[in-house]
Amino acid sequence: MFKENEELKILVIEDNYGDFVLIQEYLTDEYSKFKIKRAENFENARKLLEDNRDYSAILLDLSLPDVDRPEKLVKEVLGLANSSAVIVLTGYADKDFGMKTLSWGVSDYLLKDEITSSILTKSIQYSRERKRVKRELEESEKKYRNLFDASPLPMWVLDRNSLEFLNVNNAAMELYGYSRQEFLKLNIRELWAEGETLGEETWKKNKNDFFSLQLKHRTKKGKILYVDIETNPITFDGRDARVTLASDITGKVKAEKDLYHSQQRFKALVQDGSDVISIIDENFRYSYISPSVKNILDVNPKQMEGRNVFEFIHPDDEIRIKKYLKFVGKKKTVQLPSYRYKDGKGKWRWLETIISDLRDDPAIDGLVANSRDITQFIYQEKELRESLERYDTVAKATSDLIVDYNIESDELKFNEAISEIFGYSAENTEFNGSWWDSKIHPDDFGRIKAQEREMVERKRKLMHSEYRLACADGSYKYVLDRSYLLTDNSGNPKRIIGSIQDITDRYNYIKAIEDSNERLREIAWTQSHVVRAPLARIMGLIDLLKNHRENIENVTEILDNILISSRELDKVIRKIANKTEK
């Protein structure tokens, strides 16, 4: 006899009272304690199951008066049974129908004519155990599915042989952008980024084993992801499969790459950079100096560690540098003035240095000095200063107007001659190209602008031109403009430097000579034409008197004509004299 820790509860759905009593006797023979209820038809069974579904087993007769179709009856009872085991008791000897009921969820199928107390007890026990195992499996599967679906990490199940998707969770759909229906039409290979071969190789070697690897995947929108894959072989819905957990490590990989590049950049800055980076202790001794000091100052960095900074600074600059170092600690950053520093060959190099106080940083525990070699800049600055001084001297020494025109900024600069020669005040005038154009005489403007365009467009280095330029008082001066075009390394015009000479006096002098020459030409013409006419008449009349006097009847008339011609000649000579005096 079975002894149960809990009381057995049996519901018998049977219209035949005799069969119910027989079943009760079978149970009495095998169980020490149990409770049994009877439902004479399906309607009573429904009410009992709706009120209480906590039965250990339900024994169902298929021939009930209120249900004419056994199939419908079985399915209705199974729908109401909840977790109770359902055992069919009938006189039907149709094994096919019995097998069919088992496929619907019935726990066992017994013929009434073959039932004994032991058979019934064994069926109840086995059915209850199968129901318990099934219930545990369902709960386990439910937990697995809940874990699978609710996992924050992407998960999927693949066919172990074809690598087709069998299931995916929400996190995978969110990460890759595919819907569940789209995923189930895909093969995992379609997620692999172009050129990714590691997944295929690893799958072939570990088809039935656990493995993990890192792969590059591609989302629906084409975004590249880096993922860590962990995958185990399982059986899924009767198929050989693999369950896979994917961790998106794109951010981690990017951070690692950024860190690597940052380290490489730092290495390049420290080893091959144009700055010398050093750490100095409170006694101004080098505790570290970057390898770049070898290339910049030709000094071995190891030989400098432990040595005092001022061993290398020029004595004439030491006091000035120490004056600025007093601010270290009061300010986080101090910029030192340029100073001379002895290189590995004993030559003096010019450096500029920025000191940062990082003594409170345990990783540094000192002063960080960033030093740059500015020797070439110092020499270039000196040459530029000397060149500017020479330019300023020349500008002051010459009486010409010196013009510097920046083509890009449209800015004009002049020397003091702009005021001395033309009367313009540099303080009250904004000088640019438009201003200069407005000062060119209208009759000269077109010609001069054409020459300027030709100079810039054809990149002619020199241009000489004469034109009239307006003064501040509205008058015009004649000027000689000698301009030179400056270009950049690519040959693009950048500036025009011009020397403007006042040639007004010279122009007026030349104009006076030209006027005088014109008058002389008129005199010469007068001499050759106007003077000769009266003179020729006088000479003819005199010849007549001299050689033919005896034949002349009226001498007085001839003399009068000579007098008239003489007066005419006198007028011409006076006119010539007046022109000569102008």
70-111 pLDDT tens trace? 888 888 888 888 878 888 887 766 667 777 888 888 888 888
Spatial CA neighbour of 456 closest among 418, 410, 502: 410
Q: Evaluate whether residue 301 is within a structural domain.
A: yes
Q: Evaluate whether residue 159 is within a structural domain.
A: yes
Residues 424 and 463 both lie in one domain = yes
Residues 443 and 528 both lie in one domain = no
CB under 8 Å to 125, separation ≥6 — which residues? 2
Q: 83, exposed or middle or buried, with CB in 10 Å at 0-12, 13-18, 19+?
A: middle
Q: What is the pLDDT of residues 49-71, one digit of tens each?
A: 888 878 888 889 888 888 888 88
- Tens of each residue's pLDDT in the chain, 582 residues: 455 556 788 899 988 888 888 888 888 888 878 889 899 999 998 898 888 878 888 889 888 888 888 888 888 888 888 878 888 887 766 667 777 888 888 888 888 888 888 888 888 888 878 777 777 766 666 666 667 877 888 999 999 999 999 999 999 999 999 999 999 999 999 999 988 888 889 988 998 999 999 999 999 999 999 999 999 998 888 889 999 999 999 999 998 888 888 777 776 666 667 788 889 998 899 999 888 888 888 888 888 899 999 999 999 999 999 999 888 888 889 999 999 999 989 999 999 999 999 988 888 889 999 999 998 888 888 887 777 676 666 656 567 888 888 988 899 888 888 888 888 886 766 788 889 999 999 999 999 999 988 888 888 888 888 999 999 899 998 989 898 888 888 888 888 888 888 888 888 887 777 777 776 666 666 555 666 667 777 777 776 677 766 666 676 777 777 777 777 777 777 776 676 655
Within 333-441, residue ranges assigned H as helices are: 375-397, 417-420, 433-439
Residues 288 and 374 both lie in one domain = yes
Concatenated DSSP letters for 292-316? HHHHHH---HHHHTTSBGGGTB-HH
Q: What are phi and psi of 521, to 5 degrees?
A: -65, -40
Q: Judge contact between 497 and 401, C-beta under 8 A.
A: no
Q: What is the pLDDT of residues 362-415, one digit of tens each?
A: 888 899 999 999 988 888 888 877 776 766 666 565 678 888 889 888 998 888
Domain limits for position 173: 151-248
Residues 28 and 136 both lie in one domain = yes
Question: CATH code at 275?
Answer: 3.30.450.20
Residues 292 and 374 both lie in one domain = yes
pTM of the model: 0.39
Q: Evaluate whether residue 391 is within a structural domain.
A: no
Residues 368 and 411 both lie in one domain = no
Residues 222 and 167 both lie in one domain = yes
Q: Evaluate whether residue 385 is within a structural domain.
A: no
Q: Around Cβ 506, how many Cβ atoms within 10 Å?
A: 12
Question: CATH code at 51?
Answer: 3.40.50.2300
Q: Evaluate whether residue 509 is within a structural domain.
A: no
Residues 16 and 128 both lie in one domain = yes
For the chain, what is the domain count?
A: 5
Residues 341 and 456 both lie in one domain = no
